[in-house]
Structure 1
Amino acid sequence: MLEETYAVEIRSLSDWLEVFERELDENLANGIIGLKSVIAYQRPIRFEEVSFKDAAIVFQKALKERTEKCVYGDKSLVLPKVVQDYVMHLIMSAANERGVFVQFHTGLLEGNRGMLSNLNPELLENLFLKYPGVKFDLFHIGYPYWGVTAALARTYPNVFIDMCWSHIISPISSRNALSEFLDAVPFNKISGFGGDYAIVEAIYGHLKMARENIARVLEEKISEKTVKLLQAMMIAERILHNNPKKSS
């Protein structure tokens, strides 16, 4: 697709990376404000550092296999893990230079038989350390690893918690997680809601669930006298509106 879009022939990893940089800058110029990775559906989200030389050799082999498949009409390019790891670090480096935030799918996958151990947000820790200029937005509270998510957001200034989908997965777990987040993490690092639906009515229903969950958690904090009423109102506004708006 990139070859057709930019009228080029990709014969090496260098060619491919050049087109990637071009596409990224064009999209940034056209208004995109962040990047999102859903590669968790295919593999663990631990990305090792790989040399360009090693990645280029493996990429060349993948190109050769693609050429052979094209004879039968299959133009797909399957990138081995070594290349994926190299490219992810390149993407993070580009995001770091450009001040772009990156969203990562962590925790539970849609559907059945997803490997939960592949999606523990702790696997991303080397990226948090290496790319301090990137704001990492961790989706779905890393369910069921929300304790790990809280610890990461507390430890790393560039790690943020996104509660999208979590209220649908488990309302009680979302309340427990939010209560823990508010105890352990600065509330300016929490986004309390994300629709995660393509249907307007379903988004509205999810928002009602999220608001009820947030209200119940804040009510408990007020009852415990760990938060005052005005503080609770300010927290609700921050996690439902101001924080997501600021991150974008």
Structure 2
Amino acid sequence: MKLLRDTWLIFQRQALLLLRNPVWILVGVFQPVMYLLLFAPLLKPALGVRTNAEAYEIFVPGLLVLLAIFGGLFQGFGLIAELRAGVIERSRVTPVSRLALLLGRSLRDTVSLLSQAVIITLLALAFDLRVVLGNLLLAYLMLALISLMTSAMSYGVALAVKSEDVLAPLMNTVAQPVLLLSGILLPLTFAPGWLQGVADWNPFSWAVDGTRALFRGDLGAPAVWQGLVIMAVLAVAAVTWAARLFARSVR
């Protein structure tokens, strides 16, 4: 109970800080919306599909996974600023759970990501996208697990390096191959066999395939449950690792 209460307190504080400066939510939505408006119309002839709805069933899930990955991976910059300001050090004198210090922040990031995902989905509905509500909620669960995992990983790396100059190139180095090997913008079915084989080792490619299956109404596709299990395991591992670093940094 103490962990839940402490996590809720940290979440409330972090959410309040975000709401005081909502421009970050708008900035987070702007780039995906530009992809939705300016890139997605090219997909119908490029993919050889019959309707815009089919093109958006392929593109929108990848776009949402992209948002979850990148939105989480760069959260560590805010934590480094808090470290520099002494916020984390002052946590030493509080009885708040060290795990809650991480979970409260990561849950704030997850809620922010889901808010952006809802906005993008609603815009996509105006472009003939159709998705079953139950499948959509499962897709949002996939996104939440991705966001929880990537934000926890980013916080852990930030605590380890304690420098924006190190964190920025490190996260970019991780993000680029993840993007290219997950089939986010275009399905990997169009890729040569060797590239598909390499992508099979990228856990995010399973998440993208599972999310696309949910958007096209294929709830029973193996990729859905494989993606959910993989993301859940990685999220638990990332939270556990980052929480240990959090506890070490505030002792």
What is the TM-score of this pair, normalised by structure 1?
A: 0.24
What is the TM-score of this pair, normalised by structure 2?
A: 0.24
Greater helix percent: which structure? 2
